Amino acid sequence: MRTLSYALFAALAVSALAVPVTAAALPADVTAGQCIAGGGGIVVSAVGDGSQGYTKRCVGGVHDGRTAL
C-alpha cells in the first residue's frame, strides 16, 4: 500500500504543476506585436457585411488562432 500512496501523490503533484503551465502557454488574446514576434501574421476579417465590425486573428507562429488586439 505504501507504494500506491507515493505513486498517487506523484501523479497529483505532476497534474497540479502541469495545469498552470498550460494555461500560461496559451494566452487568450495577444497583441499584434506578440503575434508577429511569434512568427505569425494578422488576418482581418469582416463580421457579416462589414457593418458589424471586424475580427483580427493571429495566423501561424506561436499564437496561431488567437485574437489579436
Closest by CA to 68, choosing from 15, 40, 10, is 40
> Can you give the pLDDT at residue 57?
92
DSSP string computed for 2-14: HHHHHHHHHHHHH
> Can you give the pLDDT at residue 69?
86
- 0.85 exceeded by the pTM? no
- Spell out the per-residue pLDDT of the chain, length 69, in tens: 455 566 655 655 555 554 444 445 555 789 999 999 999 999 999 988 888 899 999 999 999 989 988
